[in-house]
Structure 1
Amino acid sequence: MSHPSTVLITGCSSGFGLETARHFADQGWRVVATMRTPREDVLPRSDRIRILPLDVTDPGSIARCIDAAGPLDALVNNAGVGWLGPVEGITLAGVRDLFETNTFGTIAMTQAVLPQFRLRRSGVVVNVTSSVTLLPLPLLAVYTASKAAVNAFTESLALELAPFDVRVRLVLPGRAPGTSFGDNARRRMEGSDHGAYSDFRERVFAAVRDTSTPVTHAADVAEAVWHAVTDPSAPMRTPAGADALALAGR
Protein backbone atom coordinates (compact mmCIF):
# COMPACT_ATOMS: atom_id res chain seq x y z
CA MET A 1 0.00 0.00 0.00
CA SER A 2 1.50 3.35 -1.04
CA HIS A 3 2.07 6.11 1.46
CA PRO A 4 0.34 9.49 1.10
CA SER A 5 2.34 12.06 -0.83
CA THR A 6 4.14 14.77 1.15
CA VAL A 7 4.36 18.47 0.32
CA LEU A 8 6.47 21.14 2.01
CA ILE A 9 4.92 24.60 1.83
CA THR A 10 6.76 27.75 2.89
CA GLY A 11 5.09 30.80 4.45
CA CYS A 12 2.14 29.04 6.09
CA SER A 13 1.40 31.39 8.99
CA SER A 14 -1.37 33.18 7.05
CA GLY A 15 -2.88 33.91 3.65
CA PHE A 16 -2.08 31.79 0.62
CA GLY A 17 0.29 29.42 2.37
CA LEU A 18 -2.07 28.68 5.22
CA GLU A 19 -5.00 27.97 2.91
CA THR A 20 -2.83 25.83 0.65
CA ALA A 21 -1.65 23.75 3.62
CA ARG A 22 -5.27 23.19 4.67
CA HIS A 23 -6.26 22.23 1.14
CA PHE A 24 -3.55 19.61 0.69
CA ALA A 25 -4.29 18.12 4.10
CA ASP A 26 -7.99 17.95 3.24
CA GLN A 27 -7.05 16.04 0.08
CA GLY A 28 -5.20 13.43 2.11
CA TRP A 29 -1.63 14.63 1.60
CA ARG A 30 0.94 14.86 4.34
CA VAL A 31 1.80 18.51 4.79
CA VAL A 32 4.97 20.05 6.17
CA ALA A 33 3.80 23.60 6.90
CA THR A 34 6.69 25.96 7.58
CA MET A 35 6.78 29.36 9.24
CA ARG A 36 9.44 31.70 10.55
CA THR A 37 7.75 31.58 13.94
CA PRO A 38 5.72 28.37 14.24
CA ARG A 39 2.13 28.74 15.46
CA GLU A 40 0.21 25.63 16.35
CA ASP A 41 -3.13 27.45 16.48
CA VAL A 42 -3.46 28.34 12.79
CA LEU A 43 -3.87 24.80 11.45
CA PRO A 44 -6.11 21.97 12.66
CA ARG A 45 -4.48 19.25 14.72
CA SER A 46 -3.93 16.33 12.38
CA ASP A 47 -1.50 13.46 11.95
CA ARG A 48 -1.15 14.67 8.36
CA ILE A 49 0.18 18.12 9.32
CA ARG A 50 3.60 18.97 10.73
CA ILE A 51 4.61 22.54 11.52
CA LEU A 52 8.32 23.29 11.27
CA PRO A 53 10.32 26.50 11.74
CA LEU A 54 11.91 27.88 8.59
CA ASP A 55 13.62 31.09 7.58
CA VAL A 56 14.24 30.85 3.84
CA THR A 57 17.01 33.46 4.11
CA ASP A 58 19.02 31.33 6.57
CA PRO A 59 20.99 28.37 5.11
CA GLY A 60 21.17 26.66 8.50
CA SER A 61 17.43 26.94 8.98
CA ILE A 62 16.84 25.49 5.51
CA ALA A 63 19.14 22.53 6.15
CA ARG A 64 17.52 21.75 9.51
CA CYS A 65 14.02 21.98 8.02
CA ILE A 66 14.77 19.73 5.05
CA ASP A 67 16.43 17.19 7.34
CA ALA A 68 13.45 17.18 9.72
CA ALA A 69 10.90 17.02 6.90
CA GLY A 70 12.17 13.76 5.45
CA PRO A 71 11.36 12.58 1.91
CA LEU A 72 9.22 15.01 -0.07
CA ASP A 73 7.11 14.69 -3.19
CA ALA A 74 6.51 18.40 -3.75
CA LEU A 75 7.83 21.80 -2.71
CA VAL A 76 5.67 24.92 -2.80
CA ASN A 77 7.72 28.10 -2.51
CA ASN A 78 5.10 30.51 -1.21
CA ALA A 79 7.01 32.58 1.38
CA GLY A 80 7.33 36.20 0.34
CA VAL A 81 7.42 39.79 1.52
CA GLY A 82 5.83 42.81 -0.10
CA TRP A 83 6.87 46.33 -0.92
CA LEU A 84 4.53 48.97 -2.27
CA GLY A 85 6.26 52.31 -2.71
CA PRO A 86 8.45 54.44 -4.97
CA VAL A 87 11.95 53.35 -5.89
CA GLU A 88 13.26 56.59 -4.36
CA GLY A 89 11.78 55.52 -1.02
CA ILE A 90 13.64 52.23 -0.60
CA THR A 91 17.31 51.80 0.25
CA LEU A 92 19.48 49.29 -1.53
CA ALA A 93 19.57 47.38 1.75
CA GLY A 94 15.78 47.23 1.53
CA VAL A 95 15.97 45.99 -2.05
CA ARG A 96 18.40 43.26 -1.01
CA ASP A 97 16.13 42.29 1.89
CA LEU A 98 13.18 41.88 -0.48
CA PHE A 99 15.20 39.78 -2.91
CA GLU A 100 16.65 37.67 -0.08
CA THR A 101 13.19 36.30 0.70
CA ASN A 102 11.31 36.49 -2.58
CA THR A 103 14.07 35.47 -4.99
CA PHE A 104 17.10 33.98 -3.25
CA GLY A 105 14.95 32.18 -0.67
CA THR A 106 13.02 30.49 -3.47
CA ILE A 107 16.25 29.46 -5.21
CA ALA A 108 17.80 28.20 -1.96
CA MET A 109 14.77 26.07 -1.07
CA THR A 110 14.68 24.65 -4.57
CA GLN A 111 18.36 23.74 -4.40
CA ALA A 112 17.72 22.00 -1.08
CA VAL A 113 15.14 19.56 -2.47
CA LEU A 114 16.53 18.93 -5.95
CA PRO A 115 19.02 16.18 -5.02
CA GLN A 116 16.28 13.89 -3.68
CA PHE A 117 13.93 14.70 -6.56
CA ARG A 118 16.61 14.12 -9.20
CA LEU A 119 17.84 10.84 -7.68
CA ARG A 120 14.28 9.55 -7.36
CA ARG A 121 13.38 10.92 -10.82
CA SER A 122 10.18 12.30 -9.34
CA GLY A 123 9.01 15.51 -7.70
CA VAL A 124 7.33 18.84 -8.30
CA VAL A 125 8.41 22.39 -7.47
CA VAL A 126 5.76 25.10 -7.61
CA ASN A 127 6.84 28.71 -7.19
CA VAL A 128 4.22 31.27 -6.22
CA THR A 129 4.97 34.66 -7.76
CA SER A 130 2.47 37.36 -8.73
CA SER A 131 0.25 38.59 -11.53
CA VAL A 132 1.97 41.99 -11.24
CA THR A 133 4.62 40.42 -13.46
CA LEU A 134 2.01 40.36 -16.26
CA LEU A 135 1.28 44.10 -16.29
CA PRO A 136 3.46 47.04 -15.20
CA LEU A 137 2.01 48.81 -12.17
CA PRO A 138 3.26 51.87 -10.27
CA LEU A 139 5.05 51.68 -6.92
CA LEU A 140 5.76 47.99 -7.43
CA ALA A 141 9.02 48.15 -9.41
CA VAL A 142 11.22 46.43 -6.83
CA TYR A 143 8.64 43.87 -5.75
CA THR A 144 7.80 43.02 -9.37
CA ALA A 145 11.49 42.64 -10.19
CA SER A 146 11.92 40.13 -7.35
CA LYS A 147 9.00 38.06 -8.63
CA ALA A 148 9.81 38.38 -12.32
CA ALA A 149 13.26 36.97 -11.55
CA VAL A 150 11.56 33.89 -10.08
CA ASN A 151 9.43 33.53 -13.20
CA ALA A 152 12.55 33.46 -15.39
CA PHE A 153 14.35 31.13 -12.96
CA THR A 154 11.42 28.72 -12.94
CA GLU A 155 10.94 28.55 -16.69
CA SER A 156 14.62 27.85 -17.31
CA LEU A 157 14.86 25.37 -14.42
CA ALA A 158 11.95 23.39 -15.84
CA LEU A 159 14.00 22.69 -18.97
CA GLU A 160 17.06 21.44 -17.11
CA LEU A 161 15.04 19.17 -14.80
CA ALA A 162 12.77 17.67 -17.46
CA PRO A 163 15.31 14.91 -18.28
CA PHE A 164 15.03 13.81 -14.63
CA ASP A 165 11.21 13.77 -14.70
CA VAL A 166 11.03 16.61 -12.17
CA ARG A 167 8.31 19.16 -12.93
CA VAL A 168 8.59 22.88 -12.15
CA ARG A 169 5.63 25.24 -12.41
CA LEU A 170 4.46 28.77 -11.56
CA VAL A 171 1.32 30.06 -9.86
CA LEU A 172 0.58 33.77 -10.32
CA PRO A 173 -1.93 35.12 -7.77
CA GLY A 174 -3.74 38.40 -8.24
CA ARG A 175 -4.52 41.12 -5.72
CA ALA A 176 -5.79 39.83 -2.38
CA PRO A 177 -7.09 42.65 -0.13
CA GLY A 178 -8.33 40.11 2.43
CA THR A 179 -4.84 38.92 3.39
CA SER A 180 -2.25 40.55 5.65
CA PHE A 181 0.23 40.85 2.77
CA GLY A 182 -0.65 44.42 1.78
CA ASP A 183 -0.75 45.62 5.39
CA ASN A 184 2.66 44.09 6.03
CA ALA A 185 4.03 45.78 2.91
CA ARG A 186 2.70 49.14 4.09
CA ARG A 187 4.23 48.72 7.55
CA ARG A 188 7.55 47.87 5.92
CA MET A 189 7.40 51.25 4.15
CA GLU A 190 7.02 53.27 7.35
CA GLY A 191 9.93 55.62 7.89
CA SER A 192 11.32 55.11 4.40
CA ASP A 193 8.73 56.75 2.15
CA HIS A 194 9.46 59.66 -0.18
CA GLY A 195 7.19 62.67 0.42
CA ALA A 196 7.08 63.70 -3.23
CA TYR A 197 5.01 60.61 -3.96
CA SER A 198 2.62 60.82 -0.99
CA ASP A 199 -0.55 61.78 -2.91
CA PHE A 200 0.15 59.28 -5.66
CA ARG A 201 0.93 56.60 -3.07
CA GLU A 202 -2.39 57.11 -1.27
CA ARG A 203 -4.31 56.74 -4.53
CA VAL A 204 -2.48 53.52 -5.30
CA PHE A 205 -3.08 52.19 -1.78
CA ALA A 206 -6.79 52.94 -2.16
CA ALA A 207 -6.87 50.99 -5.42
CA VAL A 208 -5.07 48.06 -3.81
CA ARG A 209 -7.64 47.94 -0.99
CA ASP A 210 -10.61 48.27 -3.36
CA THR A 211 -12.83 45.19 -3.31
CA SER A 212 -15.39 46.43 -5.84
CA THR A 213 -13.34 45.01 -8.72
CA PRO A 214 -12.25 41.37 -9.23
CA VAL A 215 -9.78 40.17 -6.60
CA THR A 216 -8.03 36.97 -5.57
CA HIS A 217 -9.01 34.85 -2.60
CA ALA A 218 -6.70 32.50 -0.73
CA ALA A 219 -8.82 29.55 -1.86
CA ASP A 220 -8.15 30.51 -5.49
CA VAL A 221 -4.43 30.20 -4.89
CA ALA A 222 -4.76 26.92 -2.99
CA GLU A 223 -6.72 25.43 -5.90
CA ALA A 224 -4.19 26.69 -8.44
CA VAL A 225 -1.26 25.28 -6.48
CA TRP A 226 -3.06 21.96 -6.08
CA HIS A 227 -3.62 21.81 -9.84
CA ALA A 228 0.01 22.72 -10.59
CA VAL A 229 1.32 20.05 -8.21
CA THR A 230 -1.02 17.17 -9.04
CA ASP A 231 -1.76 17.58 -12.75
CA PRO A 232 1.21 16.72 -15.01
CA SER A 233 -0.53 18.55 -17.85
CA ALA A 234 -0.74 21.84 -15.91
CA PRO A 235 0.72 24.74 -17.91
CA MET A 236 3.94 26.44 -16.91
CA ARG A 237 1.99 29.47 -15.62
CA THR A 238 -1.29 29.13 -13.74
CA PRO A 239 -2.96 32.45 -12.84
CA ALA A 240 -4.95 32.38 -9.61
CA GLY A 241 -7.92 34.67 -8.96
CA ALA A 242 -10.38 36.49 -11.17
CA ASP A 243 -8.14 39.51 -11.66
CA ALA A 244 -5.10 37.36 -12.46
CA LEU A 245 -7.13 35.38 -14.98
CA ALA A 246 -8.22 38.62 -16.65
CA LEU A 247 -4.61 39.86 -16.85
CA ALA A 248 -3.56 36.55 -18.38
CA GLY A 249 -6.35 36.84 -20.97
CA ARG A 250 -8.27 33.80 -19.74
Structure 2
Amino acid sequence: MNSVLITGCSSGFGLDTARHFLDRGWNVVATMRTPRADVLPASDRLRVLALDVTDDDSIGRAVAEAGPVDVLVNNAGIGWLNALEGTPTSVAREIFETNTLGTMAMTRAVLPQMRERRAGAIVNVTSGVTLKPLPLLSVYTASKAAVNAFTEVLALELAPFGIRARVVLPGRAPETRFGENARGRMGEGFPEAYAGIVQQVFAGWQEADQAVTRSEDVAEAVWRAATDPDAPARIPAGADAVALAGRPEA
Protein backbone atom coordinates (compact mmCIF):
# COMPACT_ATOMS: atom_id res chain seq x y z
CA MET A 1 0.00 0.00 0.00
CA ASN A 2 1.31 3.45 -0.90
CA SER A 3 2.30 5.90 1.83
CA VAL A 4 2.61 9.67 2.02
CA LEU A 5 4.21 12.00 4.56
CA ILE A 6 2.61 15.46 4.67
CA THR A 7 3.92 18.42 6.64
CA GLY A 8 1.74 21.16 8.13
CA CYS A 9 -1.45 19.12 8.62
CA SER A 10 -3.04 20.95 11.53
CA SER A 11 -5.32 22.99 9.22
CA GLY A 12 -5.94 24.24 5.70
CA PHE A 13 -4.25 22.68 2.70
CA GLY A 14 -2.28 20.09 4.67
CA LEU A 15 -5.31 18.88 6.59
CA ASP A 16 -7.46 18.47 3.48
CA THR A 17 -4.60 16.82 1.61
CA ALA A 18 -4.22 14.26 4.38
CA ARG A 19 -7.97 13.54 4.20
CA HIS A 20 -7.75 13.28 0.40
CA PHE A 21 -5.06 10.59 0.51
CA LEU A 22 -6.82 8.72 3.32
CA ASP A 23 -10.03 8.65 1.29
CA ARG A 24 -8.10 7.04 -1.55
CA GLY A 25 -6.75 4.21 0.56
CA TRP A 26 -3.22 5.45 1.23
CA ASN A 27 -1.24 5.19 4.43
CA VAL A 28 -0.85 8.76 5.68
CA VAL A 29 1.74 10.22 8.03
CA ALA A 30 0.33 13.61 8.99
CA THR A 31 2.81 15.85 10.74
CA MET A 32 2.30 18.97 12.84
CA ARG A 33 4.33 21.02 15.28
CA THR A 34 1.74 20.17 17.94
CA PRO A 35 0.07 16.86 17.04
CA ARG A 36 -3.75 16.76 17.10
CA ALA A 37 -5.22 13.49 15.96
CA ASP A 38 -8.77 14.78 16.48
CA VAL A 39 -8.65 16.97 13.35
CA LEU A 40 -8.45 13.88 11.12
CA PRO A 41 -10.78 10.88 10.83
CA ALA A 42 -9.79 7.84 12.86
CA SER A 43 -8.04 5.28 10.68
CA ASP A 44 -5.58 2.43 11.07
CA ARG A 45 -3.85 3.91 8.01
CA LEU A 46 -3.15 7.23 9.77
CA ARG A 47 -0.29 8.29 12.00
CA VAL A 48 0.04 11.78 13.42
CA LEU A 49 3.59 12.79 14.31
CA ALA A 50 5.24 15.84 15.83
CA LEU A 51 7.49 17.66 13.39
CA ASP A 52 9.21 21.03 13.27
CA VAL A 53 10.71 21.49 9.81
CA THR A 54 13.21 24.03 11.16
CA ASP A 55 14.71 21.50 13.59
CA ASP A 56 17.02 18.82 12.17
CA ASP A 57 16.56 16.55 15.20
CA SER A 58 12.78 16.78 14.90
CA ILE A 59 13.00 15.98 11.18
CA GLY A 60 15.24 12.99 11.85
CA ARG A 61 12.91 11.55 14.49
CA ALA A 62 9.78 11.99 12.35
CA VAL A 63 11.30 10.52 9.19
CA ALA A 64 12.69 7.55 11.13
CA GLU A 65 9.32 6.91 12.80
CA ALA A 66 7.44 7.30 9.50
CA GLY A 67 9.59 4.71 7.78
CA PRO A 68 9.77 4.45 3.98
CA VAL A 69 7.31 6.72 2.18
CA ASP A 70 6.40 6.87 -1.48
CA VAL A 71 5.51 10.56 -1.49
CA LEU A 72 6.64 13.58 0.51
CA VAL A 73 4.36 16.63 0.49
CA ASN A 74 6.13 19.74 1.75
CA ASN A 75 3.20 21.89 2.79
CA ALA A 76 4.31 23.44 6.09
CA GLY A 77 4.80 27.18 5.86
CA ILE A 78 4.24 30.52 7.55
CA GLY A 79 2.91 33.75 6.10
CA TRP A 80 3.92 37.36 6.49
CA LEU A 81 2.18 40.53 5.36
CA ASN A 82 4.22 43.69 5.60
CA ALA A 83 6.24 46.12 3.59
CA LEU A 84 9.92 45.30 3.36
CA GLU A 85 10.65 48.32 5.59
CA GLY A 86 8.50 46.75 8.29
CA THR A 87 10.13 43.33 8.05
CA PRO A 88 13.01 42.79 10.50
CA THR A 89 15.84 40.62 9.25
CA SER A 90 15.05 38.14 12.04
CA VAL A 91 11.53 37.69 10.65
CA ALA A 92 12.80 37.31 7.08
CA ARG A 93 15.16 34.59 8.30
CA GLU A 94 12.26 32.85 10.10
CA ILE A 95 10.19 32.89 6.91
CA PHE A 96 13.00 31.39 4.84
CA GLU A 97 13.92 28.88 7.58
CA THR A 98 10.41 27.42 7.44
CA ASN A 99 9.20 27.95 3.89
CA THR A 100 12.43 27.39 1.99
CA LEU A 101 15.09 25.71 4.11
CA GLY A 102 12.49 23.54 5.86
CA THR A 103 11.37 22.23 2.48
CA MET A 104 14.97 21.49 1.52
CA ALA A 105 15.71 19.78 4.85
CA MET A 106 12.66 17.52 4.63
CA THR A 107 13.48 16.60 1.05
CA ARG A 108 17.07 15.80 1.94
CA ALA A 109 15.89 13.56 4.78
CA VAL A 110 13.65 11.31 2.67
CA LEU A 111 15.76 11.13 -0.49
CA PRO A 112 18.10 8.29 0.55
CA GLN A 113 15.19 5.84 0.97
CA MET A 114 13.60 6.91 -2.32
CA ARG A 115 16.89 6.80 -4.17
CA GLU A 116 17.56 3.29 -2.84
CA ARG A 117 14.18 2.12 -4.15
CA ARG A 118 14.59 4.22 -7.30
CA ALA A 119 11.05 5.52 -6.92
CA GLY A 120 9.15 8.29 -5.21
CA ALA A 121 7.71 11.77 -5.57
CA ILE A 122 8.37 15.10 -3.89
CA VAL A 123 5.48 17.60 -4.02
CA ASN A 124 6.19 21.13 -2.84
CA VAL A 125 3.29 23.47 -2.12
CA THR A 126 4.25 27.07 -2.87
CA SER A 127 1.93 29.93 -3.84
CA GLY A 128 0.12 31.61 -6.69
CA VAL A 129 1.68 34.92 -5.62
CA THR A 130 4.82 33.71 -7.38
CA LEU A 131 2.80 34.01 -10.61
CA LYS A 132 1.64 37.56 -9.96
CA PRO A 133 3.44 39.84 -7.49
CA LEU A 134 1.35 41.55 -4.82
CA PRO A 135 2.31 44.38 -2.43
CA LEU A 136 3.28 43.53 1.16
CA LEU A 137 4.32 39.99 0.26
CA SER A 138 7.89 40.50 -0.93
CA VAL A 139 9.61 38.30 1.65
CA TYR A 140 6.95 35.59 1.60
CA THR A 141 6.92 35.54 -2.21
CA ALA A 142 10.70 35.31 -2.35
CA SER A 143 10.65 32.32 0.01
CA LYS A 144 8.13 30.49 -2.16
CA ALA A 145 9.68 31.49 -5.50
CA ALA A 146 12.94 29.99 -4.26
CA VAL A 147 11.13 26.67 -3.73
CA ASN A 148 9.76 26.82 -7.28
CA ALA A 149 13.27 27.12 -8.69
CA PHE A 150 14.64 24.56 -6.25
CA THR A 151 12.01 22.02 -7.32
CA GLU A 152 12.67 22.46 -11.02
CA VAL A 153 16.37 21.79 -10.55
CA LEU A 154 15.61 18.93 -8.16
CA ALA A 155 13.45 17.28 -10.82
CA LEU A 156 16.44 17.17 -13.17
CA GLU A 157 18.76 15.98 -10.43
CA LEU A 158 16.50 13.14 -9.31
CA ALA A 159 15.14 11.92 -12.65
CA PRO A 160 17.95 9.34 -13.10
CA PHE A 161 16.80 7.72 -9.84
CA GLY A 162 13.14 7.48 -10.84
CA ILE A 163 12.09 10.21 -8.40
CA ARG A 164 9.73 13.00 -9.51
CA ALA A 165 9.58 16.54 -8.12
CA ARG A 166 6.60 18.81 -8.71
CA VAL A 167 5.24 22.15 -7.49
CA VAL A 168 1.62 22.96 -6.59
CA LEU A 169 0.72 26.66 -6.63
CA PRO A 170 -2.45 27.50 -4.69
CA GLY A 171 -4.31 30.72 -5.32
CA ARG A 172 -5.99 32.89 -2.70
CA ALA A 173 -7.81 30.75 -0.14
CA PRO A 174 -10.06 32.73 2.24
CA GLU A 175 -11.19 29.57 4.04
CA THR A 176 -7.71 28.86 5.41
CA ARG A 177 -6.10 30.65 8.35
CA PHE A 178 -3.20 31.97 6.25
CA GLY A 179 -4.51 35.53 5.80
CA GLU A 180 -5.67 35.84 9.40
CA ASN A 181 -2.40 34.49 10.78
CA ALA A 182 -0.24 36.56 8.45
CA ARG A 183 -2.14 39.77 9.20
CA GLY A 184 -1.78 39.11 12.90
CA ARG A 185 1.98 38.79 12.45
CA MET A 186 2.28 42.33 11.07
CA GLY A 187 2.59 43.52 14.67
CA GLU A 188 3.81 46.94 15.70
CA GLY A 189 6.55 46.96 13.08
CA PHE A 190 4.11 47.98 10.36
CA PRO A 191 5.20 51.32 8.83
CA GLU A 192 2.46 53.94 8.93
CA ALA A 193 3.59 55.26 5.55
CA TYR A 194 2.21 52.10 3.91
CA ALA A 195 -1.26 52.27 5.49
CA GLY A 196 -2.90 53.23 2.20
CA ILE A 197 -1.40 50.24 0.41
CA VAL A 198 -2.60 47.92 3.16
CA GLN A 199 -6.16 49.22 2.81
CA GLN A 200 -6.06 48.71 -0.96
CA VAL A 201 -4.71 45.18 -0.67
CA PHE A 202 -7.30 44.01 1.85
CA ALA A 203 -10.11 45.76 0.02
CA GLY A 204 -9.09 43.92 -3.14
CA TRP A 205 -9.09 40.58 -1.32
CA GLN A 206 -12.55 41.18 0.10
CA GLU A 207 -13.92 42.02 -3.34
CA ALA A 208 -12.35 39.01 -5.06
CA ASP A 209 -14.74 36.46 -3.60
CA GLN A 210 -15.57 34.52 -6.77
CA ALA A 211 -12.47 32.95 -8.36
CA VAL A 212 -10.71 31.72 -5.24
CA THR A 213 -8.99 28.53 -4.18
CA ARG A 214 -10.61 25.88 -2.00
CA SER A 215 -8.57 23.51 0.13
CA GLU A 216 -9.94 20.59 -1.86
CA ASP A 217 -8.57 22.19 -5.06
CA VAL A 218 -5.10 22.06 -3.54
CA ALA A 219 -5.57 18.51 -2.26
CA GLU A 220 -6.58 17.35 -5.73
CA ALA A 221 -3.62 19.15 -7.32
CA VAL A 222 -1.24 17.53 -4.83
CA TRP A 223 -2.81 14.15 -5.57
CA ARG A 224 -2.23 14.67 -9.27
CA ALA A 225 1.36 15.78 -8.73
CA ALA A 226 2.01 12.73 -6.55
CA THR A 227 0.34 10.06 -8.66
CA ASP A 228 0.43 11.18 -12.31
CA PRO A 229 3.85 10.61 -13.92
CA ASP A 230 2.82 12.92 -16.75
CA ALA A 231 1.80 15.83 -14.52
CA PRO A 232 3.47 19.14 -15.44
CA ALA A 233 6.30 20.56 -13.38
CA ARG A 234 4.02 23.29 -11.98
CA ILE A 235 0.36 22.68 -11.20
CA PRO A 236 -1.81 25.71 -10.31
CA ALA A 237 -4.60 24.96 -7.82
CA GLY A 238 -7.83 26.95 -7.79
CA ALA A 239 -9.57 29.07 -10.42
CA ASP A 240 -7.56 32.20 -9.69
CA ALA A 241 -4.20 30.40 -9.83
CA VAL A 242 -5.17 28.65 -13.06
CA ALA A 243 -6.08 32.02 -14.58
CA LEU A 244 -2.75 33.50 -13.52
CA ALA A 245 -0.79 30.53 -14.85
CA GLY A 246 -2.51 30.87 -18.21
CA ARG A 247 -1.97 34.59 -18.61
CA PRO A 248 0.26 35.70 -21.52
CA GLU A 249 3.73 36.77 -20.55
CA ALA A 250 4.42 40.50 -20.71
Amino acid at match of 1:94: V
Partner SS for 2:101: helix
- Residue 57 of structure 2 corresponds to 60
What 5-or-longer segments of structure 1 have no aligned partner?
Answer: none
2:22 is equivalent to residue 21 of structure 1:
no
- CA drift of 1:210 comes to 3.7
Provide, for residues 166-203 of structure 1, a one-character-per-residue CA deviation record: whole Å limited to 9, x for no partner: 00000000000111011110111112211110121122
- Residue 226 of structure 2 corresponds to 229
- The answer to whether the Cα contact below 8 Å between 1:56 and 1:109 also exists between their aligned partners in 2 is yes
CA distance in 1, matches of 2:84, 2:95: 13
* RMSD (Å), alpha carbons: 1.0
- Residue 31 of structure 2 corresponds to 34
1:107-186 equivalences in 2 (<5 Å): 107-186=104-183
CA distance in 2, matches of 1:212, 1:119: 46
CA distance in 1, matches of 2:188, 2:113: 44
- Residue 81 of structure 1 corresponds to 78
Provide, for residues 114-140 of structure 1, a one-character-per-residue CA deviation record: whole Å limited to 9, x for no partner: 000111100000000011111121111
1:181-200 equivalences in 2 (<5 Å): 181-200=178-197
- Residue 91 of structure 1 corresponds to 88
What 5-or-longer segments of structure 2 have no aligned partner?
Answer: none
CA distance in 2, matches of 1:127, 1:175: 17
CA distance in 1, matches of 2:210, 2:47: 37
- The answer to whether the Cα contact below 8 Å between 1:5 and 1:72 also exists between their aligned partners in 2 is yes
- The answer to whether the Cα contact below 8 Å between 1:177 and 1:209 also exists between their aligned partners in 2 is no
How many residues are treated as equivalent by the alignment?
247
Taking structure 1 as the reference length, the TM-score comes to: 0.97
Amino acid at match of 2:52: D
- CA drift of 1:211 comes to 4.5
Q: 1:238 to 1:108 in 2, by over 3 A?
A: same
CA distance in 2, matches of 1:157, 1:209: 37
Amino acid at match of 1:88: E
CA distance in 2, matches of 1:164, 1:150: 21
- Residue 199 of structure 2 corresponds to 202
- The answer to whether the Cα contact below 8 Å between 2:135 and 2:197 also exists between their aligned partners in 1 is no
Partner SS for 1:7: strand
- The answer to whether the Cα contact below 8 Å between 1:85 and 1:139 also exists between their aligned partners in 2 is yes
Which of 36, 43, 47 is the equivalent residue of 1:46?
43
Percentage of matched positions with identical amino acids = 67
